[in-house]
A and B are shown apart, each in its own frame.
Chain A
Amino acid sequence: MHIPDNYFSPLTCAVMSAAMVPVWTISVKKVKTEISKAKMPLLGIGAAFSFLIMMFNVPLPGGTTGHAVGGTLLAILLGPFSACISITVALLIQALLFGDGGILSFGANCFNMAFVLPFLGYFIYKYVRDRSSSEKGELAGIALGSYCGINFSAFAAAIEFGVQPLFFHNAFGQPMYSPYPLSVTVPAMVIPHLLIVGGVEAVFTVAIYSFIKKVSPGSIYEGAKHKTKAVYGLIAALACLSPIGLLATGTAWGEWGIDELKDVTAGGKALGYVPEGMKNGFSFNAVMPDYAVKGLPDGAGYILSAVAGAAILLILFKMIRSMMKNNAKNITG
């Protein structure tokens, strides 16, 4: 579920990052009061833990394997606020250093996986646990929490994907970013999560939790003693739905289609006409006729193609050489 760059418009990324700022601020404050400085290294080590959790493959029916995300597990073990920070750090390292997940879409990825997933999962778990005294009830809460957490996280991602074609298209009405509407993205993301991924997550979380509880019961986050009110769960659920708010913002400023352009108001008056240059502007069919690249003088297009050719040859040469070196090493060693 690590969304790469260019699936979302930069505006969406900005909105999602802005949505994460208060979450991060509150989490840092909470962690500072809840966790003494003695436990600060735990945040880093927790992030390493959440990073490594995704490396574990779990067997799935049919001989394939999948991996869990472990967001709810972390929230139960470390507390939701520490989990939020730990997952954020893990996602940052993945985006910046492993190239897994985009840099601009970092905010959106954090929203889905470091906010929706641990908080919703944790509050559902807490809600169920506080209302049942038996151990079975606790485990049921964990299973339900992790199942719902991952599914709502996928749902949030599906909505973010689905709103892209509504707002962001070029002058020809072709989507600039992810082209699928909500009617495609929601089933495509949610159904596999409901059927398989959610189950894997739930089983994984319950299994690891029961192991830790049996072996080292003292190391699990206690949380506030008072009963969590249902309202927190509601807030968390509403937060998951907040990407829908994007639906209400209309066409992004500066990204109007031609047909909308004349309705754009400037200083209270509608524009009333379509600028001539935009009416018959860029046509994709003519992007690369021969070697000339459109928008550049002919000469520059040739130079660009030549530079690309030289670079590709160098790359191939170096790759072959390193392959031969490895082979030689294998033979001698």
Chain B
Amino acid sequence: MPEWLLKDENYIPQSDKDAFITKSIHALLGLLSRIRAQSVHEDDGFRTNAVLKVAFTFMLVMLVSITKSFTFVIIIDVYLLVILSMMKGEEIFRVLKTSLFMSAFTFVILLPAAFLGNLFSGIMITSKVFTTVTAVNIISHSTRWNSITSALKRFFVPDIFILVTDITIKYIVMLGGFSLNMLYSLKLRSVGKNNKKYKSLSGIPGTMFIKSKEMAEDMYSAMECRGFTGEYRVVNRFRFTPADFIYIIINIGIAVIFLYMERV
């Protein structure tokens, strides 16, 4: 047994700052898990048609933005809370996390105005932001994203645009996973103090870009092999279910309440 093997080693690596790598990893992981989470649901009783959901969510956001009545905003809040209470616990967490964060941010921004005697807009805008962010997050958490994008067809969005959007979501996952691995290796290979880390950081998006070019070429070859001619057609069948019917009635009710409130 050689002498050096028996010697105790106590190598303590110098501490180094790598918060930016950790934060980037967290951001990417959060993003990827969010995209993966949406591909599994659809079994939650919200069987309403995605086209209706998108259309009425847009209407809701619009009405809330126009209204001058605080009561109307509260009614919509209650309606959204009822919908939220029918969702799964983890989803409720995610929706509320975003909307509460956004409203808190808005409130802080509007605080100086409130001190200057403009309490009204502080409360009104904060609650409106809460309402609209919750509404959008509910639809995004309760619907598969590809049904949302294909629902856009009904709103005269060109098919090619929907194709691009679908490709984007797919490749956010692929490129995201790819750059996540690069970030991991940058973190793992920086033992002790590594001053070249900052330089390597620019290499990650750079490599990601080159990779994305290659992927685009590969993807086109694959598409052409399968008969892609530059035309793309989104098939969108529309079937009414009882849930859709109830959903339409509720939303007509909301529109009526809006008109009633604006009359006051």
- Which residues of A are at the interface with B, using a C-beta cutoff of 8 A? 4-7, 9-10, 13, 37-49, 51-53, 55-59, 63, 65, 70, 77, 85, 89-90, 92-93, 95-99, 102-104, 170, 172, 174-180, 204, 207-208, 210-212, 215-216, 219, 282, 284, 287, 293-296, 304, 307-308, 310-312, 314-315, 318-319, 321-323, 325
Contact = CB atoms under 8 A, between A and B. Distances in A.
Contact of A44 (B84, B89, B132, B163): B163
B98 A99 contact: yes
B78 A304 contact: yes
B209 A49 contact: yes
Given A174-B118, A294-B71, A321 B65 contact: no
A311 B82 contact: yes
A176 B124 contact: yes
A68 to B, nearest CB: 9
Contacts of A318: 85, 87-89, 92
B129 A314 contact: no
B128 A307 contact: no
Contacts of B125: 6-7, 177-179
Interface residues of B, number: 100
Contacts, number: 267
B251 interface: no
5 contacts: A4-B102, A40-B160, A42-B212, A175-B118, A284-B120
B165 A307 contact: no
B68 interface: yes
B74 A304 contact: yes
A176 B121 contact: yes
Top 9 A-B residue pairs of the complex, sorted by shortest distance between their CB atoms: A322-B89, A44-B167, A207-B202, A211-B206, A314-B85, A48-B171, A311-B81, A37-B230, A42-B216
A95 B145 CA distance: 13
Contacts of A90: 168
Nearest to A7: B125
B135 to A, nearest CB: 9
Contacts of A42: 212-213, 216
B249 interface: no
B220 interface: yes
A38 B220 contact: yes
Contacts of A314: 85
B202 A208 contact: yes
A93 B169 contact: yes
Q: Counting chain B CB atoms within 10 Å of each CB, which of A44, A58, A295 scores highest?
A: A44
Contact of A180 (B98, B113, B175, B208): B113
Contact of A10 (B57, B66, B121): B66
Contacts of A287: 70-71
Given A5-B129, A40-B160, A287-B71, A219 B210 contact: yes
Nearest to A53: B205
B224 to A, nearest CB: 8
B77 interface: yes
Interface stretch (B6-14, B19-27, B188-196, B239-247): B19-27
Given A10-B66, A325-B89, A65 B209 contact: no
B202 A295 contact: no
B64 interface: yes
A138 B252 CA distance: 58
Given A102-B132, A178-B125, A96 B148 contact: yes
A4 B101 CA distance: 12
Q: Counting chain A CB atoms within 10 Å of each CB, which of B34, B121, B163, B204 scores highest?
A: B121
B69 interface: yes
Nearest to B66: A10
A97 B148 contact: yes
B171 A65 contact: no
A25 to B, nearest CB: 11
A208 B209 contact: yes
A48 B202 contact: no
Given A39-B216, A55-B24, A308 B209 contact: no
A176 B87 CA distance: 32
B219 interface: yes
B73 to A, nearest CB: 10
Given A174-B120, A178-B125, A179-B113, A315 B264 contact: no
Contacts of A9: 65
A81 B27 CA distance: 28
A58 B61 contact: no
A179 B110 contact: yes
A210 B120 CA distance: 51
A219 B208 contact: no
Contacts of A321: 89
A315 B64 contact: no
Contacts of A307: 78, 82
Contacts of B119: 284
A13 B263 CA distance: 24
B223 A311 contact: no
B3 to A, nearest CB: 43
Q: Counting chain B CB atoms within 10 Å of each CB, which of A46, A99, A212, A321 scores highest?
A: A99
A96 B71 contact: no
Nearest to B200: A211
Contacts of A47: 164-165, 167-168
A312 B81 contact: yes
Contact of A99 (B62, B136, B163, B175): B136
A4 B31 CA distance: 19
Contacts of B69: 282, 295
